[in-house]
Amino acid sequence: MKAITQENDRLGFVGIGYMGRPIARRLLESGFKLMAYDREHSKAEELIQYGGTVAQSIAELSSSCNVVLSCLPSDEAVLDAYKAPDGVFAHAHRGSVVIDMSTVHPVTSQQLSRLGSQRGLEVLDVTISGSTPTAENGLLTLFGGGNKERFDTAESIFRVIAKKYFYLGPNGCGATMKLVVNTLLGIGCKRLLRLSHWVRRLVLIGIACWTCCPRPQWSLQRM
């Protein structure tokens, strides 16, 4: 599999919200060619000053780009963006890569992978941990699920937007890890924080792999 590069690939980004905007901006500033789409066109138009272009529809974006990223607020929004008649799956070219960064249920990620595969697309679920300022500074943490070789080819994207990125296993593992992290943050994780850095990392990765990966295989990048 060929690595994704600034010179040879064109990115499409669906969802220019609080997290999508700084991520897309960093990709543009690093030299990637990027087309943006958001239902509120003014949000996508904010990226023009950084060299981005604006799509009038998801269909236009999907047919114009060979790597589609999305960062959307809900499972319903994600499924609509991909499954609708004017969505990504109906218009993306065979061989294109999809990287969904939305916080969704693992079943949704697995469904996207299955539907994408039927269309000749490769789908990764690469979820985000971090705040808007973290995204602006390229210091996010990413949790990835999907094909390992394909994940590795997207490292040029991950390096720009994240300080750390983890490959956890098959599709759904990235989404599962994000839910685990959100749950721990929601209930408070003082006990977890008392553990050493390495023990915390192993606990979190172990939970995600045990939950969604029958034969876990994972790698840690940018330790």
Q: Which residues are catalytic?
A: 178
Burial class (CB in 10 A: 0-12, 13-18, 19+), 176: buried
Under a CB-based contact definition with an 8 Å cutoff, are residues 97 and 67 in contact? yes
Q: How far apart are the first and last CA of the chain?
A: 24
DSSP 69: E
Residue 73 identity: P
- The Cα 123–Cα 94 span in angstroms is 12
- To which H or E segment does residue 163 belong? strand 162-169
H helices present in the chain, as ranges: 20-29, 41-45, 58-64, 75-83, 88-91, 106-118, 132-136, 148-153, 155-161, 173-187, 190-194, 197-212
CA 165 to chain centre: 11
Q: Which two tokens stand for residue 207?
A: 């939970």
